[in-house]
Structure 1
Amino acid sequence: MKTPIAALAVLWLAACTPATPDPAASTPEATPAGSVADAVPAAPASVAEVVDDPLAVNQAIDEVLGDHVRYEAVIRQLQRAVAANDTAAVAALVNYPFVTVRDGESLRVADAEAFVREYDRIMTPPIAEAIKRQKYSQLMVNYKGVMFGNGEAWVNGICKDDACKDVDVRVVALQPTS
């Protein structure tokens, strides 16, 4: 029998499947080798219900992704770094190589140094606002990671071993949603 939280996680999973493919969304080639996700997540078509419960978020992360403590630490660090406009701190949280789309073109960022140089192109005001405004208690969780806003930012575990038992929690997507 499913617990209410497990049932909610299934609802979140269903709500996060795009209704139609988004041609502007990142492709599987954009996902680093060894990523927990199959591809960089696209924004959900719709979310049926916003839950405002940090314990439910923690439980969903634990059940779907792994240790919520590690995810929460990265999420909080990302929010603080973006709020402080600390480009180096944000860059340190990103998984490389990092690929996103800007102005209809693929933007590939090899490392943290390149991320800092391209920061203003990558961290647009709408993406920064979505990260800063996101309440932890209202994060959406699915097998592709933890979503901020309407999909402007995603955090997920990057496998460090073949069994994916050891992961680094990193920013895997920063993308415009409109």
Structure 2
Amino acid sequence: MTTASADSTTVALTKGGASLVDLVVDVPEVRIVVTGPRMLIDRLVLVTTLSPFDGCTAHRVAELAESLEGTVHCGLVGVRPAEIGVESNRSGVLLSVGLGPASMYQSELALRTRTGETFRALIGRLLTDDPARPFFAGLYGVPATGHLEHQHAHPAEGGGHGHP
């Protein structure tokens, strides 16, 4: 499910639903409703067709992470800042967006550009040397592993059953 307005677009990530959120959009804010944050979907990571040869270098991915801000609206624990960062791995770097504490219910991530640019403009400016060239950039909902509801979550993360 996707809805749009002049300033934002909203996408739902649910069991059996879409797992990609298109970021090549002409709005400065994307709202992502997530069913089962950290229980069904662990976190979001940037996926793109751009490579370092196109200009999508580790430095530019880090610059993109610094150009984003967000909040996670969790029904049981309120509003928290979204954790946005860059992780290094064997194949390069990965921009990662946290979804807040584990819950079997829903949370809403409001992800915004700090500059007020649209996501299309910001990503085109930072990750490619030729923004006119067609490309895809989006957030992938990484499936959660294990059975968090049966594990003892750290109290600061809101418990293991979606309860504080």
Q: Give the TM-score, by structure 1 length.
A: 0.26
Higher relative contact order (CA 8 A, sep 6+): 2
Q: Give the TM-score, by structure 2 length.
A: 0.27
Higher strand share: 2
Higher helix share: 1
